[in-house]
Amino acid sequence: MKTSYLSLLVFLLVGCGYSNSTDIHVKSRDNVIKVRDKVVEVLTEEPFISTYSDVQLLNDHLIIKDWKGYDYLIHVFKKNTFEHVKSTGTTGQGPDEIANIGNIFLDEKKNNFYVVDQGKLQLLSYNLDSLLSMDDYNFTTKMRITKKAYPSGCYYITDTFSIAKQLSFAENGGAIESCGRWNMITGEFKKGYIHPTQSTQAINTHSTHFDASEKQGIYVMCSRFFDVMTICNLDGTLKCNVYGPNWEDNKTDKMHYNMDVCIGGDKIYALYAGVHNDSPDRYPTQMLVYDTNGNYLKTLDIGYHILNFCYDEDNHRLILHADDDIQFGYLDLEGIV
């Protein structure tokens, strides 16, 4: 009888330990470093770029997508000098136009970038070298995408194995966001781990922010409506869920927690607001820094309302897109992170 009780106790302890082994609860994030005075403003001249834009790096160039662009939707700059070198992509239904621009995916090995046209349901392919050297260069069509489920974000590795965030639209008009392995050739999408808050009901689109790293072997999802970050291995298995001090498991559209996230080197950089949707600070001024195991390290108090950003590995800095006194700038991380 004693042996049976002991076996049961061991089973329960092991079981509890296993169920919680992937949970990290951050009780406080009070290691705050003020860095506003270290942010350097850039890109203050033409071309005009609206607030509705994203920044990304492709090898030696900075690519800015402006989905409200008046003349062009895509602008290319030299990443070291921020000199404007080319703009491309006009809005329209013509064969050489983009009907409704979606996200841009980067292929560093081929120096290509791929653009989702949500209007024509196509994935467009640009070669950056050809774009910069040819006056009459235009995109080619890489693949067709479906209306019911299409990639809203992608970390490109190869045509047959990339990590993507997919939107699956429900009949009631809602959508489920999930991350997993995507084969561009066959169109096959294999869902990885989905946090329970994402799988219980259809939700608003763009409820998560996502990035991946082949070098680190992980991808990351940050929730907009919950104080939680999920880290998965590239095969889709859960590595850990990181719960912040404001974690609660009931969904609320009234709170705005996380925005853009980026894996830079061996760190994870995640914008964090944690305020009401109506607050002027719903666009965050703070960035949380974690290691790739989900351990909180520090908070960068940037002092500007940041919309999105990217990590420049060669220069160990963050390139920032803000809705504030500056629109674009960079933060040198040397001596800070």
Please spell the DSSP secondary structure of 250-301, one letter per residue.
S--TTEEEEEEEEEETTEEEEEEEEEETTSTTSS-SEEEEEETTS-EEEEEE
Low-confidence ranges of the chain (pLDDT < 50): 1-19, 201-202
Residue 219 lies in a domain: yes
* Residue 3 belongs to a domain: no
Prediction pTM value: 0.89
Q: Tokens for 140?
A: 């080619």
* Domain assignment of residue 17, yes or no: no
Rounded Cα–Cα distance for residues 131 and 89 (Å): 11
Name residue, tokens 């990304």: 56
Q: Which of 122, 167, 126, 115 is nearest to 144 (CA)?
A: 122
Q: What is the distance between the alpha carbons of residues 260 and 268, in angstroms, rounded to a whole number?
A: 11
- Is 38 contained in some domain? yes
Within 13 A of 168's CA, how many CA atoms are on the CB side? 13
Classify residue 207: in a domain, yes or no: yes
Query: Within 13 Å and on the Cβ side, how many CA atoms surround 265?
Result: 15
> What domain count does the chain have?
1
Q: Looking at residue 99, which CATH number applies to its domain?
A: 2.120.10.30
Structural contact between residues 291 and 298, judged by C-beta atoms closer than 8 angstroms: no
DSSP state at residue 38: G
Chain segment 256-273, per-residue pLDDT in tens? 778 899 999 999 999 999
pLDDT at residue 5 in the model: 41
Contact 304, 325 (CB under 8 A): yes
Rounded Cα distance between 121 and 191, Å, is: 21
Is 13 within a domain? no
| Nearest CA among 236, 234, 277, 270 for reference residue 254 | 277
Tell me how far apart the alpha carbons of residues 291 and 307 are, in angstroms, rounded to a whole number.
22
Q: Tell me the residue range of the domain where 187 lies.
A: 24-332
CA separation for the pair 268, 240 (Å, rounded): 13
Paired tokens of 223: 């929730």
Beta bridge partners of 190: 181
Per the domain annotation, does 4 fall within a domain? no
Across 7-48, where does the E strand assignment appear? Answer: 23-25, 32-34, 39-42
How far is Cα 319 from Cα 316, in angstroms, rounded to an integer?
10
In a domain, 8, yes or no: no
Cα-to-chain-centroid distance, residue 237: 19
DSSP string, 166-211: EEEE-TTS-EEEEEEEE-TTT--EEE----HHHHSS-B-TT-EEEE
